[in-house]
Amino acid sequence: MKLFDNTEIAFSLKSDSQLERAYFLFRMIQNQPMVRIGSAVTNFALKAHLPIEGLIRSTVFDHFCGGVTEEDCLPIIDNMYNKGKVHSVLDYSVEGKDEEISFDGALDKILRIIDFCEEKQSIPYAVFKPSGFGRFGLYQKISEGKKLTSEEKEEWSRIEARFHKVCKIAHQKDVPLLIDGEESWMQKAADDLIEGLMETYNKDKAIVFNTLQMYRHDRMNYLKGLHERAKEKGFHIGMKVVRGAYMEKERERAEEKGYPSPICKDKKATDVNYDTAIAYMMEHPKMALFVGTHNEESSYLAMDLAKKRGIEKNDNRLWFGQLFGMSDHISYNLANQGYNVAKYLPFGPVRDVMPYLIRRAEENTSVAGQTSRELNLLKTERNRRKL
C-alpha cells in the first residue's frame, strides 16, 4: 500500500459523524452547478441578514474552519497535535476591508497570534496577507510603477511600519512568519517589501517567508534572482511554495485587459514549475521551505529529495502544509512518518469568513481529480469501519 492510501491513519481523528459530514460535503462540492447556486444563495442570504449562520456553522464552516476566535480553535489544535502529530497555522481568514481601522485590527490580531505561537509548540508559524495590512489598490499602483500622491506615500509608510512591527516582534520571539501571495497585479510591491524584510530579519535563519505561486510562469526566474541577491547581501530565504489560488481571475483579467496571461499554459506546466521550485530550494542550504501542496506526487518528490540531500525529516527548514478539512491522507500520513506537518486553520466570524469558504468550494470544483480522490478515500474509510 502506498503511504497516502492509509485511510485509518488519515481519518483517525474523525468520528463516524464527522466522516459522514465530510463525505456529504465533498459529494456536494463535486457538483459544479450546485456549488455555483449554493454560493450565490449563501451570498444573498448573508447580505439580506437571513438567519442561516447556524446552518453554515454546522456544515461547511465547521469542516473547513477552526472556529470564530483563536480560543475556539484550541481544542482542534490540541487534538491534531496530541493525537495526530500535526501542527496548526492559525489563519485569520477575514477578507480585507480597505480601511485603516481594519488594517490596524489585523495587525493586533497577528501580534496576538505570535504570542500564541510563542506559548504553544503546536503552532509553529504565524501568517497574514499583504492586503490585510494595506489597501490593495495602493500595492497595485506601486506594482505598476505609478507616481504616488503625498497622501499615498504616507499611507505606504504606515503599511511598511505594520510589516516591520510584526517582523521585528516575530524575530524577537523566534516565530517564523508566512506572508501569503495574492494577485499578480499587486504582488510586485509586496515582493519588494518582503525582500527588504528578509534582508533585515533573516540574517541568521529564515523568519520572514514570502509565497511563490507556481502557476505563474515567471516565478522560477524571480526565485533565482532573489537567490543571487540573498547571496550578495547575506540573508536566508524563506518561501512557502504553492500552486496558486486565483487562476480563473488571473486569466480573465489578462484577457480583458489584453496582456499575456501570467499563468502557465496548463496543469502539467504548473506541476513541472512547482516541482522545479522545490528541487531548487532543497539544493541550497540557506533556504527554508514550506511545501504547501495537496498534490501527492509533489509530496513524494519532496520526501525523496530530502532523503537524497540528507535533510532530516524533522529539520526545521522543511515543512509540509495543507488546508484544514482537506487532504488528511497527506497530512496525517506524513506526520506519522515523522515529517513536520502543519494544517492551515482558518478562523473568524462566520459571515466574514464566507468569501474564503466560497473560494475554497469553487477551487475544489475546478480541481476535479482532487475532489474525487477525497471522496474515494472517505468511501474506503467508511467501508473499513463497517467491516
Q: Determine contact, residues 372/17, Cβ cutoff 8 Å.
A: no
**Residues near 161 by Cβ (< 8 Å), separated by ≥ 6?**
none
Give the end-to-end CA distance of the chain in Å, rounded to a whole number.
Answer: 19
Q: Hey, how many other C-beta atoms are within 10 angstroms of the C-beta on 200? A: 15
Which residue(s) pair with 342 in the sheet?
87, 321
Number of H helices, E strands in the chain: 17, 8
What are the φ/ψ torsions at residue 211 (nearest 5 degrees)? -125, 130
Region 67-353: CATH code: 3.20.20.220
For residue 114, the one-letter residue type is I
Which pLDDT score is estimated for 366?
A: 60
Q: Hey, how many other C-beta atoms are within 10 angstroms of the C-beta on 357? A: 21
Cell reading at 264: 502557465
DSSP helix, strand, coil percent of the chain (3-state; round to 5)? 60, 10, 25
What are the residue ranges spanned by the domains of the chain? Answer: 67-353
Residue spans of beta strands (DSSP E) within 305-352: 318-323, 341-347
Return d(Cα 205, Cα 387) in angstroms, integer: 50
| DSSP per-residue string spanning 230-276 | HHHHT--EEEEEE--S-HHHHHHHHHHHTS--SB-SSHHHHHHHHHH
Cell reading at 138: 495602493
The position carrying cell 499575456 is 260
Which pLDDT score is estimated for 180?
A: 96
Cell reading at 56: 453554515
Return d(Cα 370, Cα 374) in angstroms, integer: 6
What are the φ/ψ torsions at residue 35 (nearest 5 degrees)? -65, -45
Tell me the three state secondary structure of residue 272.
helix
Burial label for 151, CB within 10 Å (0-12, 13-18, 19+), is exposed
**Residues near 196 by Cβ (< 8 Å), separated by ≥ 6?**
none
Return d(Cα 315, Cα 286) in angstroms, integer: 13
The position carrying cell 504553492 is 242
**Count of CA atoms in the C-beta half-sphere (13 A) of 312:** 3
User: What are the per-10-residue average pLDDT scores of the chain (387 residues)?
Assistant: 95 96 89 79 84 86 93 96 97 82 94 95 97 96 98 98 98 98 97 98 98 98 98 98 92 97 96 98 96 96 97 96 96 98 95 81 68 94 96
Helix (H) or strand (E) holding 364: helix 350-366
